[in-house]
Structure 1
C-alpha cells in the first residue's frame, strides 16, 4: 500500500511499473518519497510562517495544508514531465526550467524554517530594534512637547524672578529705615524722625506690593504648572499609545529582516539542504540511465504517436479523394444540356416574378 502511494507521488504510470522489475519500482518509490516528504516540510514551514502572521493555529494549519498540497502537486508535475532522452544535453535542457522552479520552491520552504531555527537570535535582534525604536519614538514625540514646556518653564522663572526682585527691593528699604532709626546711615540721627517715617512708609508700600505680587504670580505659576502637567500627561499618553505598536513589531517581514542581519553562512547551508532535497528527484532522473520503465513508456508513446499519425494520414487521403470525386461529378453535370435548360427556365420565372412584384409596388404608391 505504501509502495503504491509513493509510486503515485512520483508521477509514474502505475500500470507500466506493475510489469517492471522490483528494482525499477523501488527507484520510483524513492523519488515519490522525496516528493512527499518535501511537501510535508513545505506544510510545516508555511504553517509556522502563517502562524507568525495570523497567531491562530487552526488558520495556519488550514492554509499550510493548502500550501503543502500545492508544493506536492508542483514537485510531482516537475518529476513526471522529465523524460529520458538519448542525449544528456537535451535532458539537461528540458530539466533546466524545472531546476529553476525547484530552487524557488526550496527558498520558499527553507525561509520559514530558518526563522524557527534561529528564533532566539532573531528575538534578540528584534529586542534591540524595539529598544532603539522606543528611544527614537520618545525623542520624536518630545520634539512636539518640549519647546512648549521650555517656554512655560521660562515663563515661571520670569514670574519668580519678578518676586525675587521685588523682595530684594523691599529688603533693601527695610535695611534703610532700620539704619535710619539706629543712626548708622542716612541723617545719622538716632531715633524715629521724619526721614525714618518716610522710609518706613516707602518700605511698607513695597511690602504690600510684594504680597500682592506674590499672590498674583503664585496664581499664574500654578496655572502654568497645570499646563505643563497637562502637556506631560499628553506626552506620556502619546508614548503609551504608540508603545504597543512597537511591541508588536515582530511580524513575518520584521523577522525576515532580522534574519538578514545575522551571519549568512548557517542560513545558506540550510537553504542548500532544502535545495538538495527539492532537486534530488530531478537530479536522480537525469543521472540514472534509461531503465525498463522508460523503455516501456517510450514504446507506449510511440504506439500512440504511430496510431495518431496513421489516422491523420488516412483523413488527408480521404479528403483528397473526396475532393477529386466531387470535382469530377460537378464537371460532368456542367456539360449536361437538360440541366442547363431547367435552370434557365427557373431563372426566367424568377425574373418575371420580380418584375411583377416591382410593378405592383409602384402602382400602389401612385
Structure 2
C-alpha cells in the first residue's frame, strides 16, 4: 500500500509498472517518497512563514497545507514529464527548465526554515535595528520641537539678562548715593544733602522700575516655561505613539532582511541541502539507465503516435480523393447541353425582368 502511494507520488504509470520487475517499482517508489517528503517540508516552511505574517496558527496551517499540495503537484509534474531519450544531451535540454523550476522551489522552501533555524540570531539583529530606529525616531521627532524650544529658551535667557542688567544698574545707583552720603564721592560732603536726595530719588525710581521689570519678565518666563513643558509633553506623546510601530518591526520582510545580514555560509548549506532534495528525483531519472518501464512507456507512446499519424494520413487521402471526384463530376455536368440551355433560358428571363424594372423606375421619375 505504501509503495503504491509513493509510486503515485512519482507520477509513474502504475499499469505499466505492474508489468515491470520489482526493482523498477522500488526505484519509482523512492522517487515518489522524495516528492512527498519535499511537499511535507514545504508545508512546514510555508506554515511558519505565514504564521509570522498572520500571527494565527490555524490560518497559517490551512494555507501551509494548500502550499504543500501546490509544491507536491509541481514536483510530481516535473518528475513525471522527464522521459528517457536515446541522447543524454537531449535529456539535459529537456530537464533544464524543470531544474530551474526546482531551484526556485528549493529557495522558496528553504528560506522560511532558515528563518526558524536562525531565529535567535535574527532576533538579535532585529533588536539592534529597533534600538537604532528608536534613537533615529526620537531625533527625527525632536527636529519638530527643538527650534521652538530653543527659541523659547533664548527668549527666557534674554528676559533674565534684562533683569540682571537692570539690577546691576540699580546697584550702581545705590553705591553712588551711599558714597555721596558718606562723602566718598560726588561732592565729598558728609551727610544727606540735596545731591544725596537727588541721587536717592533716581535710585528709588530705577528700583521701582526694576521691581516692575521683574514682575513682567517673571510672567513672560513662566509662560515660556509652560510652553516648553507643553512641547516636551507633546514630544513624549509622539514618541510613545510611534514606539509600537518600531516594536512591531518583526514581520516576514524584516526577518528576511535580517537573515541577509547574517553570515552567508550556514544559509547557503541549508539552501544546497534543499536544492539537492528537490533536484534528486530529476537527476535520478537522468542518470539512471533506461529500464523496463521507460521501454514500455516509449513503446506505448510510439504506438499511439503511429496510430495518430496513420489516421491523419488516411484523412488527407480521403479529402484529396473526394476533391478529385467532385471536380470530375462537375466537369461532366458542365458539358451537358440540356443544363446549358436551361441556364441560358433563366438568364434571359432575369435580364428581361431587370430591363422592365429599370424602365418602370425611369418612367416614375419622369
- TM-score per shorter chain, which class? over 0.9
> SS state of the match for residue 109, structure 1?
helix
Q: Quote the residue 2:215 is aligned against.
A: 215
Quote the offset at 1:363 in angstroms.
Answer: 4.2
Distance in 1 of aligned mates of 2:268 and 2:71: 21
2:275 maps to 275
Change (3 A) 1:2 1:357: farther
Larger deviation, residues 124-133 vs 338-347: 338-347
Distance in 2 separating the partners of 1:166 and 1:87: 105
1:302 aligns with 2:311: no
Report deviation, 1:217: 0.5
Aligned residue for 2:197, secondary structure, equals helix
Q: What's the TM-score, normalizing by structure 1? A: 0.94
- What is the RMSD of the two structures over their aligned residues, measured on CA atoms? 1.8
Q: Within the alignment, does 1:177 sit opposite 2:177 as a pair?
A: yes
Paired residue secondary structure (1:289)? coil
Q: Could you tell me which residue of structure 1 aligns to residue 290 of structure 2?
A: 290
CA–CA separation in structure 2 for the residues paired with 1:228 and 1:211: 25
Greater Cα shift, 272-281 or 224-233:
224-233
Mean Cα deviation higher: 268-277 or 153-162: 153-162
Higher mean C-alpha displacement, 341-350 vs 312-321: 341-350
Q: Which moved more, 1:321-330 or 1:78-87?
A: 321-330
After superposition, where does 1:9-88 map in structure 2 within 5 Å?
9-88=9-88
Looking at structure 1, the residues matched to 56 and 23 of structure 2 have their Cα atoms a distance apart, in angstroms, of 45
Asked if 1:6 corresponds to 2:11, the answer is no
The alpha carbon displacement at 1:181 in A equals 3.1
Aligned length: 366
| Pairing 1:91–2:91 present | yes
Question: Are 1:112 and 2:126 counterparts?
Answer: no
What does 1:115-264 align with in structure 2 at a 5 Å threshold? Answer: 115-264=115-264
* Residue aligned with 2:290, SS: coil
Once the two structures are overlaid, the 10-residue window that deviates more, 256-265 or 335-344, is: 335-344
Aligned to 1:344: 344
Q: Quick check: 259-268 or 41-50, which moved more?
A: 41-50
Distance in 2 (CA, whole Å) between partners of 1:214 and 1:256 is: 62
Q: For the residues of structure 1 that align with 2:228 and 2:98, how far apart are their CA atoms?
A: 68
The residue number in structure 1 matching 2:355 is: 355
Moved more, 184-193 or 119-128: 184-193
| 5+ residue gaps, structure 2 | none
The structural deviation recorded for 1:365 is: 4.4
Q: For residue 76 of structure 1, report the CA deviation from its aligned partner.
A: 0.9
